Amino acid sequence: MAKAQRVFISGSTGYMGRQLIPALLARGHTVRALIRPQSQHKLPAGCTAIVGNALDATSYREKISPADTFVHLVGVAHPSPAKAAQFRSIDLVAAREGIEAGKFVGVDHFIYVSVAQPAPVMKAYVAVRSECESLLRESGLNATNPAPLVCARPPSPLALPSDASLLAARARAGDPPRGTSAGVGKPRRDDIGTAAGG
């Protein structure tokens, strides 16, 4: 097993976070999760709740440390082409704030879940994810960009075998990272669990 990591997760009670946190805890990593006050009960035992607003870095950036890795999972639930405005007002704002918070504390590794391209039916979603990737590149943070085709839970017609359930399963299994190696500020596309937990 790789060295235990201290992981900070935003979007911790969403579809991917609910699967990733238990997998990381089972591998011996310490997990701190950004959470809205009304959602604290949704975190698994062993995970430390950090109350804040993902759309406002000043509400949580002082509480990120100690963390080696920041995993950003905030996104609109059940993405569809009809939610284009929400992708900009939630996904983009939360990613921008998360990246700024990561820079503020000097996190060693930032993981931003993007989307494989092209995903023609999800043009607005892909555009926002691409914009977030650009912000991350410009930040200079050491980063990883897992890129599932689309993160949607079954029975959504957008749910594909490369979604969060596969990422969490790979995290539990300790699969090695996928993708190209990255230098500072050059995101690579990898598996979330492997990237977050070594």
The packing angle between helices 15-26 and 164-173, to 10°, is 0
* pLDDT reported for residue 175: 44
* pLDDT reported for residue 117: 67
pLDDT in tens, 131-141: 999 999 999 99
- How far apart CA 149 and CA 117 sit, in angstroms, is 7
Query: Which domains are present in the chain?
Result: 6-197 (3.40.50.720)
Reported pTM: 0.77
Contacts of 73 (CB under 8 A, 6+ apart): 9, 10, 11, 12, 14, 16, 17, 20, 113
pLDDT in tens, 97-110: 999 999 999 999 99
Residues of the chain with pLDDT under 50: 152-153, 155-192
**Cα separation values, 173 from 27, 41, 161, Å:** 9, 27, 17
* pLDDT reported for residue 147: 74
List the structure tokens of 112: 């931003």
* pLDDT reported for residue 194: 53
